[in-house]
Amino acid sequence: MAYSYHERTISNLGYTIDKEGNCYNSKGKLLKGTIANTGYRVVSTTIDGKTIKIGLHRFQAYQKYNDEIYKEENEVRHLNGIRNDNSWDNIEIGTHSDNILDIPQDIRIRVAKNASTKYDQKLVDEIKHDKELGPSYNQIMVKYNISSKGTISYIINQR
C-alpha cells in the first residue's frame, strides 16, 4: 500500500493530537473534523495548495509509533472496534490479521456469512474440493478472487 505520509507532514507543521484523540492545529485550535463514509474521523487541511484529509486514527498512531505506521505489514488498529475512538489507549499497530481479530467474533461471522451467500452451491463445492487437496486459504482466495479469509473459512466450514 502506498502511503501519503500526511501524518508526518502535519506533525511537522505543529498539529497535535492529545491522549483522548482530539486534534489541534498549529495555533492550538481544536479541529472537530468529520466522520468519513468509512466511519473514521478525519480532519481536512491544505498542504501545498491541496486540501487533504487525515484520519485521526493514523495521526494518533503516528504520534505513538512514528514511522513504524508506514511499514507495509502494519495497519492501524482500534482495539475496541470503534472507528472514531482515537484515544491513545485504543490505537495500536499490527498486522492485517490482528486488525481483523479486533472485530468482535459475532460480527466477523455475520459478515462472512452474508458475503458467502453470493456464491452458488457449485462454486462452494469447488472451493471445498480444492481445500481437501491441500492448498492454503490464501491460495484459494487468490484462485477464486475472494478477498476475505473469513468468507473462505465460512464457506469451507459452515456451508
User: pTM of whole model > 0.75?
Assistant: no
Q: Which fold has domain 6-101?
A: Homing Intron 3 (I-Ppo) Encoded Endonuclease; Chain A (3.90.75)
Give the whole-angstrom CA distance, residue 84 versus residue 69: 18
Number of H helices, E strands in the chain: 7, 8
- The residues spanned by each domain of the chain are 6-101, 105-157
Express each pLDDT in 36-71 by its tens digit: 988 899 999 988 899 999 999 999 999 999 999 999
Cα 80 → chain centroid: 13
Q: Which residues, including other chains, have CB under 8 Å from residue 67's CB and lie 6 or more apart?
A: 8
